[in-house]
Structure 1
């Protein structure tokens, strides 16, 4: 039994050894098989590797561009929403910044005369408040007188239009007469019906308490915003170049970058300061010229019209047109002559053209100029966002944005959208 088992074991061992020998021989010859398999795998995987190598150069770039555009659109929409919702904050802020640019030359001059800057800023603000209060008081008196004359003026205009239509009936008058005759014929042909009983209901009385509360609330809000503008303007004037120095510090540790930021901020500050100073000077000059012209013409409330053009001249084209129309109407009501109305209405227009366009362009040059399409688009955009304040602040804000784009290299291409056309050689 043991012999058989041993023989069987020897036979098994012999078979196993022969099998292992065969496997080894096959393995020796199978090197070519493994290499062939590896070659086949390398052949099948090579194109996929090539595709994988080429894919990241195209798809991620397109995805990156799409995401960038989407982020820009979302940021713009959020900015518009913030400007619309936060108008009560942004409008006083922008007015304060513009007043700071306009008044800083006077404060700088006082500082060069060895007057401390906070005291100089306080003195300038006191003079500004005094001048504004006097102008508002005078304008309020004239405006009250004009409002008292308004019913008589409306009646006079209605009579003038009626007499003009009777003197020279046109196609519209013939159409009205024809419609009147047709109504008469229809009334004769129609059966007579009893007139409806008059309603005994009386219209609801006006709640004067609500009106007074709403008016008082509006006045309080306006006074609060005015106070915030004055205080913020004073603090900005007293701070001087504090914020510019902090922006230079935030530019980064390299000295070259800080020098570049400092030069850009100085150029932007100088140009904006010059622009707002020139705007204030031009507006005041246009107001004085208009007021004196209307005064020598004999028009009543000439000071009010001069103050109106001083404020509204900030709105290009539209401000002068509104004042000219109002002055022409007031002149016609006072003198009863169309020639006098045209002459009086032409005075603010001439002042705006000569002083507001020619002189301002000569003083400012090309840096602060914009093309007409950009001007009107800016008026529509900011007027939609902030109403009347948007119309007043649109052009000064866009000039500031244009100046910023002119001095920052990545934004220069956007500045060309606002710049005027190149002069023909």
Structure 2
């Protein structure tokens, strides 16, 4: 913290040095790609730098001169607009008998009524020889024309000196670009060569691209604004277009400053209200189009900072360096955030200001469960489901959240009551997602019914197709049962009949239920951590009582080594031990489908398995009944 205070204090008190240096660095980022392109065209280093710098600053000087003459022309024409301004003021009733004057008079009379008259204070006897001091006020005289000229010339001279300093800094930065990079790498340390190189490349690319895109966007905005103001009839439309493009460099507030001046001029030149209203409409349409369509398309992830960070940076750098800091706020913040990505000591800057998610999806989902915010937890899952499949939602977010809750409960950080509430909330969310699973299944059956695309003889084939039921057996508690419910939804999407055994049933009851259901495939559901013991005990019992059943062991979100897992479950084939719902579906689907009838083998044809694997890879729900009806 002390280091941060020292750095901020140094930036503030030495701003006369750091501001030109920062401006030069900004221009070097912007002009660096042009210099590189000229050097690729076999220009020398010095010639490339001089050509780019001279042309760039000549363009800046020409724009400045144009704005100066346009501003002088506006000042010269202001007396011509006096009559319209007076009529506008009269239209607001600000005359002697206007509404505002009557309001002011009423307020003054009310204050007079509620303020008691000052009482007569008795005179206190003054000691002999003392007198009341007489107040003396010293007023400075008005400045002479010579003093005014001296002040103006002093300000212009200071601006000119700073401009020359910036130009020379830019020239030397572009000339010594590689040498400065090497010195910075050496200062950080050659042992971190890879990290430093990534830092410099990332910061350079982000800032350079941001400045180029911002220049194109603001220039386009200024051109369109100038053309629109010209056709509206606002005088000196070129000046206001240039100012609109420049003020857009100021985050958020710049556009309002830009629209104020042509709006005020429209009030002055137009006897009515048409031109001012059209001016507001023009800037509003431009801002909506540029901010919502053009900027998101062009910027993309070029900055890497959040909108709140842009606003905070604007306030901080303006306080530190004034108006120049406001212009430099976003590029400087981008550099700091990029440094935070690669330098551990500055990682807090990336966490606070960067646009990367600071919490993983399961941690964020689990945090909302801890806060008992069921609505936002459902919103997070629905948002995730827009980009991912239901299996990925369960594997990547819901089951890891259950694992985190169980780990906290075992450490004592989560009491049993809160743990039960979290599990119940997850159950409600999973039950709600069952409707989504059913919609996927119905949509697939309606859009991918393959019987209509086959010859007529396939429809009358006397073939009995069996999709043997699958039983999902929780290893111990309700979290295991919820995971089994998730698996049943994913299998049901593919037309596999599934039944979930209640977690409250005893092991003997589970074995009897499996016998009665004549299940061909049994999946033991166990949510990590510390579920392996219960899953192994249940596996031994089922393997003894039901030797003909195919048993799949699902150790959801298990992070242990695969060999260690196989060592703990020697009674089951290694291929039948899965750690995600997606893998479980891929393994169960071939086991749960078979065919019987004349001319059919009891094994699934290879082309059918290939089709099943293809559908799984493409996230297409697959109904095995439809599959075999099509003659596969």
TM-score where L is the length of structure 2 = 0.49
Q: 2:62 aligns with which of 108, 117, 134?
A: 134
Check conservation: 1:315, 1:395, Cα contact below 8 A: no
2:342: which partner in 1?
407
Distance in 1 (alpha carbons) for counterparts of 2:44 and 2:106:
79
Alignment match of 1:237 (pick from 160, 166, 174): 174
Q: Which residue pairs with 1:15 in the alignment?
A: none
2:220 is matched with 285
The verdict on how the C-alpha distance between 1:412 and 1:173 changes in structure 2, with shifts beyond 3 A counting, is same
User: Which residue, 245, 250, 264 being the options, matches 1:329?
Assistant: 264
Equivalent residue number for residue 266 of structure 1: 201
Aligned-residue offset at 1:315? 0.7
Question: Superposition pairs for residues 114-263 of structure 1, below 5 Å?
Answer: 114-150=42-78, 153=81, 156-165=84-93, 172-178=100-106, 204-254=141-191, 257-263=192-198
The Cα of 1:153 is off from its aligned counterpart by: 4.6
Return the offset for 1:296: 2.5
Residues 325-357 of structure 1 show CA distances to partners (whole Å, capped at 9, x for unaligned) of 111111222223323212213333433442355
1:316 correspondence with 2:251: yes
The superposition leaves residues 176-215 of structure 1 with CA deviations (integer Å, 9 ceiling, x where unpaired) of 34468899xxxxxxxxxxxxxxxxxx99443333222222
Q: Does 1:83 align with 2:18?
A: no
CA offsets, 1:225-262, max 9 Å, x none?
Answer: 000111111111222322122223334354xx323322
- Show the 5 A alignment for 1:340-419: 340-356=275-291, 358-419=293-354
Q: What is the match of residue 238 of structure 2?
A: 303
Q: What count of residue pairs does the alignment treat as equivalent?
A: 335
* Cα separation, partners in 2 of 1:415 and 1:253, compared to 1, 3 Å: closer
Which ranges in structure 1 are unaligned for 5 or more consecutive residues? Answer: 1-71, 184-201
Q: Per-residue deviation at 1:321? A: 0.6
1:144 CA drift (Å): 0.5
Contact 1:324 1:349 in 2 (8 A): no
Counterpart-to-counterpart distance in 2, 1:152 and 1:388: 33
Separation in 2 of the partners of 1:261 and 1:179?
67
Cα distance in structure 2, aligned partners of 1:337 and 1:172: 22
After TM superposition, the structure 1 stretch with the greater mean CA deviation from structure 2, 127-136 or 107-116, is 127-136
1:113 Cα offset (Å): 0.5
Q: Which of structures 1 and 2 has the larger relative contact order (alpha carbons within 8 angstroms, sep 6+)?
A: 1
Contact 1:283 1:313 in 2 (8 A): yes
> Post-superposition shift, 1:311?
1.5
SS at match of 2:93: helix
Alpha-carbon contact 1:294-1:302 (below 8 Å) kept: yes
Distance in 2, Cα, partners of 1:157 & 1:175:
22
Distance 2:309 2:354 in 1: 8
Cα distance in 2, alignment partners of residues 357 and 239 from structure 1: 40
| SS of aligned partner of 1:165 | coil
- 1:155: how far off? 6.4
Report the secondary structure of 1:241's partner residue: helix
| SS at 1:115 equivalent | coil
Q: For residues 172 and 80 of structure 2, what CA distance do their matches in structure 1 show? A: 48
Does residue 105 (structure 1) correspond to residue 42 (structure 2)? The answer is no
How far apart in 2 are the matches of 1:117 and 1:351? 41
Asked if structure 2 preserves the Cα contact closer than 8 Å seen for 1:290 and 1:347, the reply is: yes
For 1:228 and 1:122, the matched residues in 2 are separated by 15
Q: CA deviation at 1:129?
A: 2.3
Taking structure 1 as reference, are residues 154 and 370 closer, same or farther at Cα in structure 2, changes over 3 Å only? farther
- Matches of 2:312 and 2:301, distance apart in 1: 20
Question: Judging changes above 3 Å, is the alpha-carbon distance between structure 1 residues 86 and 212 closer, same or farther for their aligned structure 2 residues?
Answer: same
CA separation of 1:339/1:411 partners in 2, compared to 1, >3 Å: closer, same or farther? same
- More displaced, 216-225 or 392-401? 392-401
> Does the 8 A contact of 1:361 with 1:369 survive in 2?
no
Relative to its length, the structure with more helix (as a share) is: 1
CA contact (8 A) 1:368 1:399 kept: yes
Contact 2:317–2:325 under 8 Å retained in 1: yes
**Pairwise CA RMSD of aligned residues?**
3.1
> Contact between 1:367 and 1:403, CA under 8 Å: does it hold in 2?
no
Structure 1 residues 163, 251: closer, same or farther in 2, change over 3 A? closer
- Contact persistence 1:290–1:348 (CA under 8 A): yes
Partners of 1:305 and 1:162 lie apart in 2 by 27
**Bigger Rg, which one:** 1
Given that 2:336 and 2:349 are in contact with CA atoms closer than 8 Å, whether structure 1 keeps it comes out as no
Which structure is higher in strand share?
A: 2
